Amino acid sequence: MKVKRTLKMIVGCLLITNLCWAGITQEGDTLPPGVVIHNAPAISHEYIGSPSIVIMPDGTYIASHDYFGKKLSDTYIYRSGDRGNSWTPIAKLESLTWATLFNRGKELYLIGISPKVTMGYGDFVVRRSLDFGRSWTEPKDEKSGLIRCGFYHCAPVPVVRHKGKYWRAMENMGQEWGWGPFSALMTSISCEADLLDAGQWNFSNEIRYDSSWKEGATAWLEGNAVVTREGEVKDILRVAYGPDDVAAMTSVSEDGKIMTFNPEKDFIKLPGAGKKFTIRYDKKSKKYWTLSNFILEKDRHNMDGGAIRNTQVLMCSDNLTEWCIKDTVLTCDQPELYGFQYVDWQFDGKDIVFVSRTAWRDKTGNPPRQHDANYMTFHRIRNFRAFSKK
């Protein structure tokens, strides 16, 4: 098992783009690249999902993940006070999955799903912490964070502030079990509202995916709320598609009530978009940025494109429709076993910091496959804006 690291000479400075390693990983080592936040032994068959990260106003990092595999449905919270070099577990939240961390000043929130059974689709909920993640509200009713009952789906995707509202994409499965075709929708709420009050939230109409729109594309999911340069809200979704390079972009009305999609023109090229990705806008570089599971040519063999997750690349765009790969941040051999996936990330000054659902060998052996992650790891990309000039 070999990890490849990319060294770039930018403006006379040597930049190691996938810094923050837990030592230099050589073949045979059990530690994955990055700082290990948590390891669930591979032999346990309890797999780590839904990594999310937020930076609080005082510089504290908060990260979260859930589990899947043994009908688990809880979310775990971790804190770092030294910019990600070490992490401490601080809380466990029962009956919460697929959640996004975000903050409103010192208020910390998780937006996610309370599954109907021990795992799977469920109610849309919001939970709040006023002590930096140590204790949390319980979503008992429509005034305490139980926003809408149903069979909803989501992932750790951005909460975007625009024109006095928070915007956050999600999907509706419409039933307890199954996978796709999901219905896309956008939620929004005033930035001044009580985020635990269901009556304050707005929902767009839902658009159910139609497999006739694009040959070979079977579903869309895990959408990103993004604001265009023209001030329009879009939902950019992962698309389950063999070549692994297509996303879908729906449009949302200014009041958040109407979502539209034109299959003739609203599929866009985005390398690695067959797996979950997060898009954010950087005001300083005036570009949109993302990390994605692009498939290197050497790894394109008989595996399904959606299952190849052993590489993370840094990409940027001026307009959301044309994306350019700027660097290979992480990559390794044996894509059938190892993966860096479901990355969530934040800007941190000149850097990008991210957390990964990482499948890697540990002391108990290999994970069953790349999908079944046994680590959550933390990583830093230093001076990321330098790559926009390449």
- CATH code for the structural domain at 47-304+314-326: 2.120.10.10
- Percent of the residues in the chain that have a pLDDT greater than 90, as a whole number: 85
Quick check: 334 and 281 in contact, CB under 8 A?
no
Sign of the CA dihedral running 52, 167, 133, 127:
negative
Residue keyed to tokens 């990583």:
379
Q: What is the pTM of this model?
A: 0.92
Q: How confident is the model at residue 175 (pLDDT cuts 50, 70, 90)?
A: confident
Give residue-wise pLDDT tens across range 41-79: 999 999 999 999 999 999 999 999 999 988 778 999 999
Q: Beta strand pairing status for 88-93 and 97-104?
A: unpaired
The closest alpha carbon to 45, from 68, 73, 65, belongs to 68
In this predicted structure, what is the pLDDT of residue 277?
99
pLDDT of 377 > 70? The answer is yes
Residue 245 to residue 148: CA distance in whole angstroms: 33
* Burial class, 261, CB count within 10 angstroms (exposed 0-12 / middle 13-18 / buried 19+): buried
- CA count, 13 A, side-chain hemisphere, 189: 18
- Phi/psi for 298 (5° steps) reads -65, -20
Tell how far CA 331 is from the center of its chain: 18
pLDDT of 214 > 90? The answer is yes
Reading the block at residue 359, the tokens are: 């499948």
pLDDT of 27 > 50? The answer is no
pLDDT of 387 > 50? The answer is yes
Give residue-wise pLDDT tens across range 291-337: 999 999 999 887 889 999 999 999 999 999 999 999 999 999 999 99
Reading the block at residue 218, the tokens are: 């079977």
Give residue-wise pLDDT tens across range 79-100: 999 999 999 999 999 999 999 9
CA distances from 218 to 22, 33, 55, 271, 304 (A): 38, 33, 35, 17, 13
312 bridge partner residues: 330
Question: Quick count: other Cβ atoms within 10 Å of Cβ 336?
Answer: 16
In this predicted structure, what is the pLDDT of residue 69?
85
Give residue-wise pLDDT tens across range 3-24: 544 333 222 222 323 333 232 3
Long-range own/partner contacts, residues 18-22 (CB < 8 A, 24 or more apart): 18/329, 18/330, 18/379, 18/381, 19/379, 19/380, 19/381, 19/382, 20/84, 20/85, 20/378, 20/379, 20/380
Reading the block at residue 231, the tokens are: 């001030």
Strand order in the sheet with 47-55: 47-55, 61-68, 75-80, 88-93
Q: How confident is the model at residue 29 (pLDDT cuts 50, 70, 90)?
A: low
Give residue-wise pLDDT tens across range 118-161: 778 999 999 999 999 999 999 999 999 999 999 999 999 999 99
pLDDT of 178 > 90? The answer is no
Residue 276 to residue 239: CA distance in whole angstroms: 9
Say whether 306 sits in a helix, a strand or coil: helix
The domain limits of the chain are 47-304+314-326
* Burial class, 259, CB count within 10 angstroms (exposed 0-12 / middle 13-18 / buried 19+): buried
Q: What is the mean pLDDT of residues 368-390?
A: 95
In this predicted structure, what is the pLDDT of residue 2?
52
Reading the block at residue 78, the tokens are: 């971790």
Residue 192 to residue 271: CA distance in whole angstroms: 37
